[in-house]
Structure 1
Amino acid sequence: MPWTFNADGNAPTDGVWISAVAIIFTTFSLVCVLLRLYVRLVLVKASGIDDFVIVLGWVASCGFAVVTVIQTRWGLGLQHIDDMPPGNLYNFGLPGPSYITSILCFKLSLLLSYFRFLPQGIWKLLTVIIAIICVLFHASFLVVQINLCTPVAKQWDPSITHGHCIEAVPFYTTVAAMTIVLDVLVMMLPFPTLYASKIQTRKKAVLLGLFALGVFITIIQMFRIQTIKSLANYLDSAKLIMWSTIENNLGVIVTCVPTLAPLLKYFSEKTRRGTTEGNTRYGRNSTYALNAWKEGGLGAGDDMQCLSSNADREIDITGSKAAESQENILEGLGIVRKTEVTVVRQASREV
């Protein structure tokens, strides 16, 4: 049985390859989302709206992958326009908003996560402004895409010969260019605050590197622009849709990766010390590397201590308060709190 419905069994198609890419990337992004939820809901117990927004983003991404696989059965991926059965055109052209929803959600999730550590003032205001711009831009993108033709059904119904359509290549090229600009703004927004923070250079480099993973999404957008420019007929959209599938799933993955750093730290220490030794030494506090970020400001001159859920102080059992801990380390997106307890025993006097 041929992969494409109603097509000749010898018609060459990339439909199987496109479907495999969609399934693999969607599955991998699902694993990342589940691990993120495990960290936030089970280990850290400090979930936020950014976590639920990225879940919505994955659902939209999954929807786009499902539509992509279905479209390959109706002709997407066929290498020759002459092999396209005329009866498949109606189902092949049905539009869907899943792609736009998914790329909007991963941007919003990142922006919302910035509120956990950005200081009050200009940086939070910029975050709000960029979030509003993203929502308005993607909403406009969706409206125009749905109404690309007049009447709207002309996009997928070849029997409609009257009306007109917007030129797709200039429209999608402009949208892709604007998306790249927004991606760069969203990814680079936390860099000034993290760069100015008082944490170890190595830790700072790791953090900046995690947020810089978003550069891969920009690279994917550049590939998409090249495929858009080469569009000559509706079958040429195969590579464009495949890169779009990679892009929205990669957006979900990149958004989740920084939140997984505390999980890696936790299991790394459990492996190094052994389960028994770890439980004995740390007791209930063995998940110290998984502390949630405290919502609040972080000034350029402030210590990273303000991000932890409690003040880090050394306590003398006699009741005197020692100096504050001088080492507050940010591991990925978690806070490592080092607390020293000094026990003082006084020899009893003989009566």
Structure 2
Amino acid sequence: MGWTYNTSDPDAPTIGHQITGVAIALTIISLITVCLRTYVRAVMLKAIGFDDWVIILTWVAAAGFAIVSIIQTKWGLGLVHMDDFPDENLLKFNILQYMGAPFYISSIFGFKLALLTSYLRFIPKGAYRYTTVGVIISCFLFHLSFLLVQLNLCQPVARQWDYSIPGKCLNGVPFYTSMASLTIIFDVIAMLLPFPVLLKSQIQTRKKVVLLGMFGLGLFITIIQIIRIQTVKRLENPIDSAPLIMWSAVENNLGIIVTNVPTLAPLIKYFNERSRAGGTGSRTRGTGYPNEIGSRYALQTWRTGKSKGCEKLDSMNDMDGGSVEGHASKGANNSTEFILEGGITKRTEVVITRE
């Protein structure tokens, strides 16, 4: 049995397996970044916010689009030659095409909304903050109109998947081209919006360059959009949508990944510090170290204005229910003295146990 249902030639050439592979791989990668982001925000920083919930829902929409696209490949999406497309597949093909649109539009809006609302953590009050809010509202209205028009391209609506129903439809190519062009504009605005604030901030130059570089990676999404526009212009029959749908899966998952990368700094810092500590032979157990790293790199939450739950090791919360035993001068393994130039340095191992 071939990849596509009902084909007269089981070996009919198709890129359905490529679409499936790309959709599954990128959806899994974006899920990993969402899980890491959630761990950082909810566990390490204890400051999960609105943008974190948005990115979770965005991934659900992207996964929905991937699932619909994969199923659609079994009904003809990806076939290379229109002559191989079975007539009996057209109805289900069109229904799946219609179902995928809301998932796609929601996912490309979701990662921009998560990115824009995350800026409110560090953008100070004033004109620039109001500008950010204005961009969020404009972005919402644009994607809402995109969705409403997409769902009502034909009158009656059912004509979009059943050509036997009398009615009329708008020309889809000019509509998709104009929407893709406007999407590029919002992508660029969303990625470049924080640059003026970051460039004027007092953070270290190295961290500033890294942070700006991560935001700049998002501009790669613009390149994906330009590629999508070229595929839109070639839409003449149902199977011509295969490259468009594949690049759409790349776009929304890449957007999720790029949005999540800047939030993973506390996790990266934690493992970096831990590897350095391991390299020097020092050992610290049960210290709650992730929270210490997280408190240094947390952005303020949009809701509370401060990070919650990030307390130092010496707080009573960390020591509640446990005992601290300091072992000094009881052997080489527990306490070590080094005579260095300029004085004596003493290293004491502290072990924390919980009853």
Per-residue deviation at 1:124? Answer: 1.2
Q: Contact (CA 8 Å) 2:13, 2:79: kept in 1 or not?
A: yes
Q: CA deviation at 1:10?
A: 2.2
1:286 and 1:43 mapped to 2: Cα distance?
6
Deviation digits for residues 53-86 of structure 1 (CA, Å, limit 9, x no counterpart): 0000000000000000010000000011111111
Is 1:174 aligned to residue 178 of structure 2? yes
The Cα of 1:269 is off from its aligned counterpart by 1.0
Write the deviation string for residues 121-173 of structure 1: whole angstroms up to 9, x where unpaired.
1121011111111111111011111111111111111322x211111111000
The answer for the alignment partner of 1:37 in structure 2 is: 38
CA distance in 2, matches of 1:98, 1:64: 5
Shift of 1:309: 7.5
User: What is residue 118 of structure 1 aligned with on the other side?
Assistant: 123
What's 2:163 paired with?
158
1:188 aligns with 2:189: no
Q: State the AA in 1 paired with 2:45.
A: V
Structure 1 match to 2:300: 294
Corresponding position: 1:108 with 2:108: no
Give the 4+ runs in structure 1 shifted more than 4 A. 306-310
SS in 1 for 2:77: coil
2:4 corresponds to which residue? 4
Q: Distance in 2 between matches of 1:129 and 1:117?
A: 17
CA contact (8 A) 2:301 2:307 kept: no
Which of 263, 286, 298 is equivalent to 2:267?
A: 263
For residue 279 of structure 1, what is the aligned residue in structure 2? 284
Q: 2 CA distance for matches of 1:143 and 1:108?
A: 18
Equivalent position SS for 1:274: helix
When the two chains are superposed, the root-mean-square deviation of aligned CA atoms in Å is 1.9
1:212-227 aligned at under 5 Å gives the runs 212-227=216-231
Q: Unaligned 5+ residue runs, structure 1?
A: 297-305, 311-351
Q: What is the TM-score normalised by the length of structure 1?
A: 0.82
Counterpart AA for 1:142: L
Q: Which residue does the alignment assign to 2:88? A: 87
Aligned to 1:325: none
Asked whether the equivalents of residues 46 and 308 of structure 2 are also in contact (C-alpha less than 8 Å), the reply is no
1:326 — aligned with what?
none
Whether the 8 Å contact between 2:12 and 2:79 is mirrored in structure 1 is yes
Q: Tell whether 2:100 aligns with 1:99.
A: no
Per-residue CA deviations over 1:302-349 (Å, capped at 9, x if unaligned) read xxxx98789xxxxxxxxxxxxxxxxxxxxxxxxxxxxxxxxxxxxxxx
Q: Tell me the CA shift for residue 49 of structure 1.
A: 0.8
Q: Is the 8 A contact 2:267 2:290 kept in 1?
A: no
1:73: which partner in 2? 74
Q: CA deviation at 1:287?
A: 3.7
* CA pair 210-80 structure 1, distance change in 2 beyond 3 A: same
Matched-pair contact (CA < 8 Å) for 1:293–1:309: no
Of 120, 133, 140, 2:138 maps to 133
**Structure 2 vs 1, CA of residues 284 and 92 (structure 1 numbering), >3 Å: closer, same or farther?**
closer
Measured in 2, the distance between the counterparts of 1:85 and 1:151 equals: 25
| 8 Å CA contact 1:214, 1:254 repeated in 2 | yes
User: In structure 2, what is the equivalent of residue 340 of structure 1?
Assistant: none
SS of match in other structure, 1:277: coil
| 2:212 counterpart (208, 211, 215) | 208
Q: What residue number does 1:344 align with?
A: none
* Change over 3 Å in CA distance of 1:38–1:309 after alignment to 2: closer
SS of 1:17's equivalent? helix
Tell me the TM-score normalized by structure 2: 0.81
Q: Are 1:15 and 1:72, in contact at CA under 8 Å, matched by a contact in 2?
A: yes
- Partners of 1:30 and 1:277 in 2: CA distance: 34
Contact 2:33 2:260 in 1 (8 A): yes
Cα distance in structure 2, aligned partners of 1:200 and 1:252: 27
CA–CA distance in structure 1, aligned partners of residues 170 and 126 of structure 2: 42
Identify unmatched segments of 5+ residues in structure 2.
310-355
CA contact under 8 A between 1:270 and 1:278: conserved in structure 2? no
Whole-Å Cα distance in 2 between the matches of residues 114 and 278 of structure 1?
37
